[in-house]
Structure 1
Amino acid sequence: MGRLFGTDGVRGIANADLTAELALGLSVAAAHVLAEAGDYAGQRPVAVVGRDPRASGEFLEAAVVAGLASAGVDVLRVGVLPTPAVAYLTGALGADFGVMLSASHNAMPDNGVKFLARGGHKLDDELEDRIEALYTEHRTGAPWARPTGAGVGRVRDYDEGFDAYVAHLIGVLPNRLDGLKIVLDEAHGAASRVSPEAFSRAGADVITLGARPDGLNINDGCGSTHLGLLRAAVIEHGADLGIAHDGDADRCLAVDAAGNEVDGDQILAVLALALRERDALRENTVVGTVMSNLGFKLAMEREGITFVQTAVGDRYILEEMKRHGYALGGEQSGHVIVLDHATTGDGTLTGLLLAARVAATGTSLAELAAVMDRLPQVLVNVPDVDKSRVGETAELAAAVTAAEVELGATGRVLLRPSGTEPLVRVMVEAADIDHATAVAGRLADVVKATLG
Structure 2
Amino acid sequence: MSKTYFGTDGIRGRAGHHPMTAEFAVRLAMAVGRYFSKGEGRHRVVIGKDTRRSGYMLENALTAGFTAAGMDVFVLGPIPTPAVGRLTHSMRGDLGVMISASHNPAHDNGIKFFGPDGFKLSDEAEYAIEAILDTGGFAEPSDVIGRVTRLNGGQGRYVEYAKTTLPQRVRLDGMKIVIDCANGAAYKTAPETLWELGAQIIPLGVNPNGYNINDGCGSTHPEMAGKAVREHGADLGICLDGDADRIIVLDETGTIVDGDQIMAVLATNWARAGRLNHNTLVATHMSNLGLERYLNTQGIDLRRTGIGDRYVVEEMRAGGFNMGGEQSGHIVMTDFATTGDGLVAGLQFLAALKESGDPASVLTRSFEPVPQLLENVKFVAGMAPLEMPAIQDAIADGETRLAKNGRLLIRKSGTEPLIRVMGECEDEALLNEVVMGIADKIRTL
The two structures share one fold, judged by TM-score above 0.5: yes
Q: Of 197, 200, 207, which residue of structure 1 is paired with 2:202?
A: 207
User: Partner residue of 2:15?
Assistant: 14
Q: Which amino acid aligns with 2:234?
A: A
Given the alignment, which residue of 149, 152, 171 partners 1:159? Answer: 152
Instruction: Give the equivalent residue in structure 2 for 1:302.
Output: 297
Name the amino acid aligned to 1:359: K
- Report the alpha carbon displacement of residue 409 of structure 1 after superposing the two structures with TM: 2.5
Q: Does 1:26 align with 2:28?
A: yes
Q: 1:141-152 maps to which residues of 2 (within 5 A)?
A: 143-149=137-143, 151-152=144-145
TM-score w.r.t. length of structure 1: 0.95
Q: Which amino acid aligns with 1:163?
A: G
Q: Using the TM superposition, give the Cα deviation of residue 159 of structure 1 relative to its aligned residue in structure 2, in angstroms.
A: 1.0
Q: Which runs of 5+ in 1 are unaligned?
A: none
CA apart distance, 1:390: 4.5
When structure 1 is superposed on structure 2, of 65-74 and 381-390 the one drifting more is 381-390
Identity of aligned residues (%): 45
- Helix, strand or coil for the counterpart of 2:184? coil
Q: Look up the SS of the partner of 1:75 in the other structure.
A: strand
Does residue 265 (structure 1) correspond to residue 263 (structure 2)? The answer is no
Unaligned runs of 5+ in 2: none
Give 1:65's aligned amino acid: T
Residue type matched to 2:11 in 1?
A: V
* Residues 192, 212 of structure 1: 8 Å contact kept: yes
Does the 8 Å contact 1:385/1:424 carry over to 2?
no
- State the AA in 2 paired with 1:159: N
Partner SS, residue 219 of structure 2: helix
Counterpart check, 1:80 vs 2:73? no
CA contact (8 A) 1:376 1:430 kept: yes
Letter of the 1:135 counterpart: L
1:371 aligned residue (361, 366, 375): 366
| 1:92 Cα deviation after fit | 1.2
Cα deviation, residue 387, structure 1: 7.8
Cα deviation digits, residues 239-258 of structure 1 (max 9, x gap): 11111111111100111111
Report the counterpart of residue 104 of structure 2 in structure 1. 106
- CA–CA distance in 2 between the matches of 1:173 and 1:4? 38
CA contact (8 A) 1:387 1:424 kept: no
CA deviations on 1:308-328 (whole Å, 9 max, x unpaired) are 000001101101100111010
The one-letter amino acid of 1:342's match is: A
Question: How much does 1:214 deviate?
Answer: 0.5
Contact in 1 for aligned 2:68/2:139 (Cα 8 Å): no
Aligned to 2:186: 191
Give the root-mean-square deviation of aligned CA atoms. 1.5
Whether the 8 Å CA contact 1:50–1:81 is kept in 2: the answer is yes
Q: Please, which moves more after superposition, 69-78 or 392-401?
A: 392-401
Q: Letter of the 1:319 partner, please give it.
A: E
Q: How many residues align?
A: 441
Partner of 2:410: 415
In 2 relative to 1, CA 388–284 (structure 1 residues): closer, same or farther, beyond 3 Å? Answer: farther
For 1:29, the aligned partner's letter is A
Please tell me whether residue 398 in structure 1 is matched to residue 393 in structure 2: yes
1:341 to 336, 341, 346: 336
Residue 447 (structure 1) aligned with residue 442 (structure 2): yes
Task: Provide Cα deviations, 1:276-332, integer angstroms capped at 9, x if missing partner.
Answer: 122110101000011110011111111110110000011011011001110100000
C-alpha spacing 1:339/1:388, structure 2 compared with 1 (3 Å): farther
| 1:98/1:115 contact within 8 Å kept | yes
CA contact (8 A) 2:372 2:424 kept: yes
Asked whether the equivalents of residues 30 and 138 of structure 2 are also in contact (C-alpha less than 8 Å), the reply is no
Contact preservation (8 Å) 1:390, 1:416:
no
Residues 106 and 321 of structure 1: CA distance in aligned 2, closer, same or farther (over 3 Å): same
